[in-house]
Structure 1
Amino acid sequence: MHADQPSLQIEALVEGGSRLKGKSADEVNRLPVISSTPTNTLYSPIAPAILGLFASRGAELIDVPILQTADPFLDVEERHGCIFTTESEIGENLCLRPGFTIPICLDHIKSRATARRYAYIGEVFWQNRQGGSEFLEAGIEDIGDAEVATTDARSIGDAYAVLELTLPQFDLAAVIGDKTIFEAVLTALDLPIRWQKRLARAFGAPTHLEVVLGDLVKPMQRRKLGGALSLFVGRGELECLTDHIATAMELAGFSLVAGRTPHEIATRLIESNELTRVSLPKAALEALEDFLSIRVPLEQAPDALRGFASAAGLALGPAFDTFLARADAMAAQGLPFGRLTYDAALGRPHDYYTGLVFEFYVPGTDRALVTGGRYDQLLTLLGADRPIAAVGFSVEIDRVVRLRETIA
């Protein structure tokens, strides 16, 4: 987006848009924004009911400014090319708010809060390949509560309650996945650690995962490298290799931040070298394929996973215990198990997702109304000095409204 365009977007969303001229990002963000005025006409008429539900479930409404520092979205979520960016007068990289989760996590880190439930509602801005660039979202982020099974179940329950409130005339369904179960399978298969990490990163991206599995079955040809590169790659010395590549890039005049970073290049070189030495046994490949094909009603999932593990001779360990505890917590909330499906292949292809993922939809429609999941590694990536548990979801209010209009 052209540097002048974001200011036009903000002028339409901030009371008295003409007051933006000549102001810094901090000054803009101190102006009243729609997220602090839920009755604003830009909001859907169902917003007050949603906010009332959030309050009744113990979630505190938080105000997230529309203008955000862009770097966290670019570095952590790799949203290059799909967010609306500009620069401040002092050269700060800024963007229109593409989401709420990262700003809320940063606020949690800064405030040094303990366990807290954050509620939000407001517009987000990003280029969607399916069309559109402005969307209304609401959700709850549950941060700092280490009771994983309980908070997972509560997040699913929160999301279901929103849809049950706003779409009472529609049948609802959900699909649930769990990255920790997939990682437990990889560990039980005793794959090399770097291969486990690569497969885990591809989890949730079926095409990419298929390519990685293909590489494992048919090892790549060894790449010819010379000098120090060959030495560092052969020994798997990631830090030394990263420094060597960074020095070479600087001498050649290449940017260290535009495109792939020296660390990413070094990691890929070492992984590619390991591909030449590893071949996945047929039994292990078949076990992975059998696992990824599991898709059953959630109430049948424990037996399906037990059957898979027994047939493959694998132990799923603590990940399966958490899975069972979550199912018990969901049952205690009275969630409709008959409408919930477990899909072993469902995930998110981001490193910071660490366990549960879920989606709610209306059967017969083509897109999810709600997406959610656990992201325990995100706060550490954003600068937290210790691991912090986190799970949450977002509801696409625009899609909910369109469905309501089909009834009206």
Structure 2
Amino acid sequence: MLKTFSVERQLPHGVADLYFQEAARKTRLETRLREIFAQWNYTQVIPPTFEYYETLAAEASPQVRQEIYRFPDRDGRMLALRADPTIPIARLVGTKLYDQPLPLRFFYVANVFRHEEPKASLRREFTQAGVELIGCGTAQADAEIIALAVTALRALGLNDFRLRIGAMDFINALLSPLALTETQREQIKSALERKNQGALDDALRQMPMPPTLRRALATLPALTGGAEILERAAAECAVNPAAQDAIARLRALWQTLDALDVAAATTLDLGMVRGMAYYTGIVFEAFARGIGFALLSGGRYDHLLAHFGGAQPACGFAIGVERALAALKLQNSSDVQLTPDIVAELGAARALAERVAEARAQGQRVEWYLQSGSRAEISAYARQRGARRVWFADGGAEEWQ
């Protein structure tokens, strides 16, 4: 017979309790990411969990706006849960940190809330760990962000991933001279995002544009690879100064990635587009074998801060913590130790308390035995808990393998 529970004992769709290994692995991963970000001199920022809806909806894509959790406060103002950590950080910089020396380097580990259909390794409440580099618009800044992304994934123990790099400024340079409706632009971007050459060709044939631009746009899905594709892009697609500048920037980016020893983990994909409305330059995402969703995504967003004050160039990325955990599970990552190294009988002996404190200071896990029991009972308890040693209140001890 199935046991049924009342609503107050159930969880809403899209959230989860984490405990034992799940909680420990998540904490370990987040701690490692904090260490890596700090090594690159990024400082942690902790934005609020909810803000005014109009703030969090600023520059968000129509899809993200639909997914934002909204609710009124007692004064009738519409509030919302954080759906994208980048926008609160842009608001912070634009309204409070505008006079700080640039560039600013921030990292965050934050829960995110989106009202969407839960997918594999993605719930309606999930965690993102990411960085923002604000106040530097060079290709070297792009390279730092991408190199940090690769370094972070490697530091987690992920060894079977690929990071794809696109350039929204290049695609927009090809689209901007055209008198297209927003619907037509979305048709082109949708076909590019799906890598559907047939749909792209059909859409381009139905739209008024010069043959050179039609050929350039039709070529984009094939422009995938290493530095060699930049020569083809320059020859076949750089049909105006803005497109030429975008290719030159990609060359500088690739050279810096090579110098930082991360180019081998990346692939250029000039037909790549991203969903966030605020991206203006490079965009990138990383995939691991066996995971059907991006582990990490990011890009350049030079116009977002203007919404909150003075314009500043900026770029960043976010790692989906649950997705990274799923990828590590496929690679058989090790468990976190949850068992005690030692069980100690709690008694009145100060010497044993000092010994326990010393062991804990050395990083050992020590659990007090809190009942009244014989040596045999205490030893049995210690074995059941997974400990390899037991210390008794009278100074005695046992140890086993």
Place the TM-score, normalised by the shorter chain, in its bin: 0.5 to 0.7
Give the Å deviation of 1:404.
Answer: 2.1
Amino acid at match of 1:118: F
State the alpha-carbon separation in 1 of the partners of residues 287 and 273 from structure 2: 16
Secondary structure of 1:287's counterpart equals helix
Q: Distance in 1 between matches of 2:181 and 2:41?
A: 38
Q: Which amino acid aligns with 1:395?
A: I
Aligned-pair CA distance for 1:301: 2.4
- Across the aligned residues of Structure 1 and Structure 2, the Cα RMSD in angstroms comes to 3.2
Change (3 A) 1:198 1:208: farther
Q: 5+ residue gaps in structure 2?
A: 1-7, 17-22, 334-401
CA distance in 2, matches of 1:200, 1:59: 37
The residue number in structure 1 matching 2:52 is 69
Give the match for residue 85 of structure 1.
70
Written as runs of structure 1 = structure 2, the 5 A alignment for 1:389-400 is: 389-400=313-324
Deviations 1:100-150 (A, max 9, x none): 10000000001213320110002111123343201111000111113x201
CA distance in 1, matches of 2:65, 2:305: 20
2:304 is matched with: 378
CA deviations over 1:40-94 (Å, ceiling 9, x no partner): 9795222111111111001000111112221133342133331211111111211
Aligned residue among 130, 140, 147 for 1:150: 140
Q: Counterpart of 2:65 in 1: which secondary structure? A: coil
Q: TM-score normalised to the size of structure 1? A: 0.66
Is 1:179 matched with 2:106?
A: no
Deviation string 1:142-163 (CA, Å, 9 cap, x unpaired) is: 11113x2011001101111111
Q: Give the secondary structure class of the aligned counterpart of 2:27.
A: coil
| Deviation (angstroms), 1:363 | 3.1
- The letter of the residue matching 1:45 is R
Is the 2:113–2:126 Cα contact (8 Å) retained in structure 1?
yes
Is residue 244 of structure 2 the alignment partner of residue 317 of structure 1?
yes
Q: CA deviation at 1:350?
A: 4.5
Name the aligned partner's letter for residue 315 of structure 2: V
* TM-score, structure 2 as length reference: 0.67
* Cα contact 1:375–1:390 (8 A) shared by 2: yes
Confirm or deny that 1:355 pairs with 2:281.
Answer: yes
- 1:53 corresponding residue in structure 2: 36
> Counterpart in 1 of 2:368?
none
Q: Is the 8 A contact 1:174 1:360 kept in 2?
A: yes
Q: Secondary structure at the match of 1:123?
A: strand
1:123 aligns with 2:111: yes
Q: Encode CA deviations 1:377-399: one digit per residue, 9 max, x unaligned.
A: 1112x2323x2101000001111
Alpha-carbon distance in 1 for matches of 2:58, 2:73:
19
How far does residue 284 in structure 1 lie from its aligned partner after superposition? 3.5
1:299 aligns with 2:288: no
Distance in 1 of aligned mates of 2:38 and 2:141 = 17
Q: Greater Rg, structure 1 or structure 2?
A: 2
> Cα distance, 1:299 vs. partner?
2.7
Mapped to 2, the partners of 1:42 and 1:302 lie a distance apart of 41
Look up the match of 1:289.
Answer: 218
More displaced 10-residue stretch of structure 1: 60-69 or 348-357: 348-357
Identity rate of aligned residues, in percent?
22
How many residues of Structure 1 are paired with residues of Structure 2 in the alignment? 303
**SS in structure 2 of the partner of residue 53 of structure 1:** helix
More helix by share: 1
Structure showing the higher strand proportion among its residues: 2
